C-alpha cells in the first residue's frame, strides 16, 4: 500500500493557508509535512494545526521555504505571484510537485512556471474548485456554439479585502469564452466602462467587478442575445472548496511526469 503523500503549505498563516492546513490534515492519502510563512511573520514558531484551529499537529511554522520544499512530495501555494515563482524554482530544484492557486499571475510569471515545469509536475489554476473547472469548460462550449450575436459579460464579486481585479477566475472564464470564439482575450476584453462609451462592439467580452462584505466568490457569465439570455453562475460559500481542489490536485500529481497542468487534467476533462 502506498504511503501518504507528504504535502507542504506555503503562506500557512493566511486565510487560505489555514484552510489548506486543515484540508491536508483531514484528507486521506496525504500528510502535512511542512508549513512556512514570510520572514518576520508573527506566527513563526507556532504549531500549524493549532493556528488552523484543529489542535497540535507537530508541524512548526518557519520561514525556510527551501528546506521545507526539499522535504515534501508536493507543495501547495496560494501566496503572491513573485513568491510563487520563487517557490516554483525551489520545487524544480528539489523535485517536488507544485499546486498553484495564486491569482494575478502575468506573462513573466507564467514563463517562469513553464521553465520550472520542465523538471516537475505543476498544476496551475485561477480557481481550484471542481465546480468552477466545470463552469469554464461549459463557458468555452457555449461560446463556441453561440455566435457573436450573443454578447458575453462576466460579472464577479468578492470580499472587500481582495487585492486584484478582475479576479483570476473571471479572467480564466474570459479566456475560456475567447477560446470558444477562437480569439485572444486581450483583443476583445473590456475591463471597465465609464462615460460615453458608444455602442457595444460586436464580439467584445466585458467584465464587471464588485467588492464588498465577506463574499468568498461569485461568478456569472452572461450570454445576451436578442430575445433571450443564458447565464451560467457559480457561487462559493466557503474557501474549503478551493482547498479540497488543491489537495485533490496534489494527490493527482503523484507519479506524473514533469509538465504544466490544469484542473481540467486533474478532473479528466481533457484527453
**Which amino acids are annotated catalytic?**
158, 162
Cell numbers 456569472 correspond to 220
The torsion region of residue 119 among left (phi > 0), alpha (psi -120 to 50) and beta comes to alpha
Length of the chain measured in residues:
271
The secondary structure element, H or E, covering residue 173 is: helix 168-181
**How far is residue 130's CA from residue 243's CA, in Å, rounded to a whole number?**
11
Whole-number Å distance between alpha carbons of 130 and 269: 11
List CB contacts of 186: < 8 A, sequence separation 6 or more. none
In this structure, the strands spanning 217-225 and 228-236 are: antiparallel
Beta bridge partner(s), residue 216:
none
SS3 111: helix
Phi, psi of 16 (to 5 degrees): -75, -35
The three-class DSSP label of residue 255 is coil
Is residue 259 within 8 Å of residue 116, measured between CB atoms?
no
Amino acid at each position: 500500500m502506498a504511503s501518504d503523500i507528504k504535502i507542504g503549505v506555503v503562506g500557512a498563516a493566511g486565510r487560505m493557508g489555514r484552510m489548506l492546513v486543515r484540508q491536508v490534515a483531514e484528507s486521506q492519502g496525504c500528510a502535512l509535512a511542512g508549513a512556512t510563512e514570510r520572514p518576520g511573520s508573527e506566527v513563526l514558531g507556532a504549531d500549524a494545526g493549532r493556528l488552523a484551529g484543529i489542535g497540535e499537529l507537530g508541524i512548526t511554522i518557519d520561514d525556510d521555504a527551501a528546506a521545507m520544499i526539499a522535504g515534501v512530495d508536493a507543495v501547495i501555494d496560494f501566496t503572491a505571484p513573485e513568491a510563487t515563482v520563487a517557490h516554483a524554482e525551489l520545487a524544480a530544484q528539489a523535485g517536488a510537485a507544485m499546486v498553484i492557486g495564486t491569482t494575478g499571475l502575468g506573462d513573466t510569471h507564467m514563463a517562469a512556471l513553464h521553465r520550472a515545469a520542465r523538471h516537475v509536475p505543476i498544476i496551475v489554476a485561477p480557481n481550484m474548485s471542481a465546480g468552477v473547472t466545470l463552469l469554464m469548460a461549459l463557458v468555452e462550449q457555449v461560446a463556441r456554439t453561440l455566435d457573436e450575436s450573443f454578447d458575453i459579460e462576466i460579472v464577479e464579486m468578492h470580499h472587500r479585502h481582495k487585492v486584484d481585479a478582475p479576479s483570476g477566475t473571471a479572467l480564466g472564464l474570459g479566456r475560456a469564452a475567447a477560446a470558444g470564439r477562437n480569439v485572444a482575450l486581450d483583443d476583445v476584453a473590456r475591463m471597465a466602462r465609464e462615460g460615453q462609451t458608444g455602442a457595444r462592439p460586436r464580439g467584445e467580452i466585458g467584465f464587471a467587478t464588485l467588492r464588498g462584505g465577506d463574499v468568498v466568490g461569485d461568478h456569472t457569465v452572461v450570454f445576451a442575445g436578442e430575445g433571450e439570455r443564458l447565464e451560467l453562475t457559480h457561487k462559493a460559500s466557503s474557501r474549503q472548496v478551493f482547498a479540497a481542489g488543491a489537495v485533490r490536485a496534489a494527490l493527482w500529481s503523484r507519479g506524473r511526469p514533469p509538465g504544466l497542468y490544469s484542473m481540467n487534467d486533474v478532473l479528466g476533462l481533457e484527453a
